[in-house]
Amino acid sequence: MLRRLSRFPLHRLRWSPMLLALLLTACAHAPSRNPLAEWVPSPNQDLRRPVLIVIHFTDQHSVQQSLDTLRTRNSGGPVSAHYLIGADGKRFQLVSDERRAWHGGAGRWGTITDINSASIGIELDNDGKSPFAEAQIDSLLVLLEDLCTRLRIPRRQIVGHSDVAPVRKVDPGPLFPWKRLAEAGFGVWPAADAPPAPPGFDPWVALRLMGYALDDRAATVRAFRHRFRGSEGTELDEEDLRILYALTQPPATPSATATDPVDVPAESDAL
């Protein structure tokens, strides 16, 4: 479009604000094309989608302070997040969902080693010492419902910054209401009547299965304790083992029969 317009003296064109906005929007959404290859588009494609949501607290004292930091830098360098939620529940978006925000830093969750490339980062305005406001958690649940539905993020894949970076981070901390999120269908939580772990149960294998790294086991236990017991601690006890056993047991599923419907994959990578 701009190539055709270039035949006319641009200074003689009368640009309306609406026309200019349309032109800029068209250019911004044009797919990137490599000049080394002929463009032959296939309809079998989609946006790259995040598979994880990471929850943080800001460890600052106001929404405005956090907005300023998330658009500039902190002591470690430039930093950002996709969303910030104030104590009153007001939501701010700082980075588009399809873009890579700089919120996770070095860390891992299961096989994911580039947290920023695979996740949505949500910051909660909280100083790290105070309970999270009711309106803030209500607002977070609304946002989680939207993100998981619209971006098809698995609802179990909601974690804290300390889960993916236990050596470096403690947020969202032991005061964050993970159980309430689980009751709303996000993340995981053990059943209250889950039995004790059987003899020979290996909690380190269970922690790895959940996604935790074991480079520093004490730090991993602290992150696990913050999330599932709301307390401090760097050594596993029987209650930790009970929780780990409950969280890592496969759900009971009815056996398939000849009359059960067969799942047909929605997409294929076969040629």
State the virtual CA torsion across 152, 158, 164, 167 in degrees, nearest 10. Answer: 170
Name the residues annotated as catalytic. 123
The CA distances from residue 217 to 224, 234, 241, in Å, are 10, 8, 15
In tens, the pLDDT along 235-267 reads 999 999 999 999 999 866 544 333 333 333 333
In tens, the pLDDT along 127-176 reads 999 999 999 999 999 999 999 999 999 999 999 999 999 999 999 999 99
Distance (Å, rounded) from C-alpha 138 to C-alpha 183? 13
Which tokens hold the place of 52?
A: 């994880």
Confidence of residue 11 (pLDDT cuts 50, 70, 90): very low
Is residue 5's pLDDT more than 70?
Answer: no
Whose structure tokens read 């910054």? 161
> pTM (2 decimals)?
0.81
Distance (Å, rounded) from C-alpha 224 to C-alpha 212? 9
Whose structure tokens read 């309106």? 135
Which tokens hold the place of 80?
A: 């950002």
Instruction: Pick left, alpha or beta for residue 71 (phi over 0 → left; psi -120 to 50 → alpha; otherwise beta).
Output: alpha
User: Percent of the chain beyond pLDDT 70?
Assistant: 81
